[in-house]
Structure 1
């Protein structure tokens, strides 16, 4: 996740903590382990029930991996494609084989190797488009799973609050403890609403934005590799792909 995302999470946390402090409350009032177990555990359980196990595990990995991911840089990718085009025109497509071995991006590496192997433009497009669409659909499904968790969390928060109130009302013999008991019960609601609206739903939307940006980047790479295969000049390639930088 880039700096803006991390700053957003930090700002959300500071807003909640600051509101409690400004209202004269204590941060200890927000600490409630049973409420956290009900909200977090119940949300994960509900998502696991509605989702096949493989998709659920992938969605969790996708959510955790987002904190280590950054948006692809189309400008850098275009410069790389222009360099490969120059190299191919000077020394032939086989000169790109060493470039493929140095790439960390699986999609670009596969495409470059297909280009070196002398495959047709149609086979290059078909292979890479299958990879693009399959990865996009899988990641979007993962985002939908996380988004559904954002829908369950507030409801689990209400369940936690009701359970807390049941405990409070069952102990009416100590009326002096009712105020603090009711306040503790509603902490679960705060956890549920906060988890949904400050973390899960924003993360799901961020994954969707990341998937869209990655698809656009891969589309640019695919078009660039096809232009290299057709023997276009570096200048023509750059002119054709400049629109992706917008």
Structure 2
């Protein structure tokens, strides 16, 4: 689990609570049911109206993924692909079929099954790239849904404030209540801005980033399994895939031994002579 999303939200709301405490304000003054119902309910409603029900359903299914992240990364799949390259070199491509049932990644299973079935390399690449394209489209739809909510929320908050201020103007003959009523009117604007920048936009951005990492993983698997099918050497497959990965553990530079340093000194002396 990648806790970045949870950590970010906790820090954001923690900062808000700290400000409320330092200002001496009351949290209960912000937790008004009416503006919260309007902002959250209407924002989600117009978000649904701006797309299709299928988009909404997929966006809701993607929400747990935004919270927990994705354990599968491009770098974590390299060792598996290199292992399949070693198996293919030692036992042939048909030996990969016995690994199909043990894989949990549907995309890798698809690639393994295609190689074991003897699918032509060009055809297999086309199938895998089509799968990547459809996955990218689904990820964009989920990310766009929450980003759209982030765009609607502030405006809906303003609408709530305008409605409340209209009610305030109807009660100008009661000056003692004007202060609390005006303060309550701006709570809708607060929740519109708060929900957009603390909830909806971070979820949309998180899903967009997770989608990018998923596409990177699928691309690495595509190139790796096609190299396995072509009979490439395992070490070559590993080196190529390592070069394709954007996020990988930092590698320490190999330490130079005393013997190597001595050889360099000798070489320098020979060149200078």
Normalising by structure 1, we get a TM-score of: 0.94
* 8 A Cα contact 1:39 1:191, kept in partner: yes
| Cα RMSD, aligned residues only | 1.6
Superposition deviation, residue 136 in structure 1:
0.1
Name the structure 1 match of 2:196: 196
* 8 A Cα contact 2:100 2:109, kept in partner: yes
Normalising by structure 2, we get a TM-score of: 0.85
Distance in 2 (alpha carbons) for counterparts of 1:55 and 1:73: 25
Distance in 1 (alpha carbons) for counterparts of 2:141 and 2:58: 9
Q: Deviations over 1:68-116 (max 9, x none)?
A: 3326322221011111111122222232223221222211111111111
Name the structure 2 match of 1:240: 240
* 8 A Cα contact 1:82 1:237, kept in partner: yes
Matched, 1:123 2:123: yes
* 8 A Cα contact 2:153 2:193, kept in partner: yes
Q: Deviations over 1:131-168 (max 9, x none)?
A: 00011012112212221111100001011111222223
The structure with the largest alpha-carbon Rg is: 2
* 8 A Cα contact 1:71 1:213, kept in partner: no
Structure 2 stretches lacking a partner, 5+ long: 247-273
Distance in 1 (alpha carbons) for counterparts of 2:10 and 2:70: 18
Name the structure 1 match of 2:21: 21
Q: Deviations over 1:6-28 (max 9, x none)?
A: 11010111111111111110111
Q: Deviations over 1:23-77 (max 9, x none)?
A: 1101111101111111011111111222122112222322343213326322221
Name the structure 2 match of 1:135: 135
Superposition deviation, residue 173 in structure 1:
4.0
Size of the aligned set, in residue pairs, is 246
Name the structure 1 match of 2:80: 80
Name the structure 2 match of 1:46: 46
Matched, 1:162 2:166: no
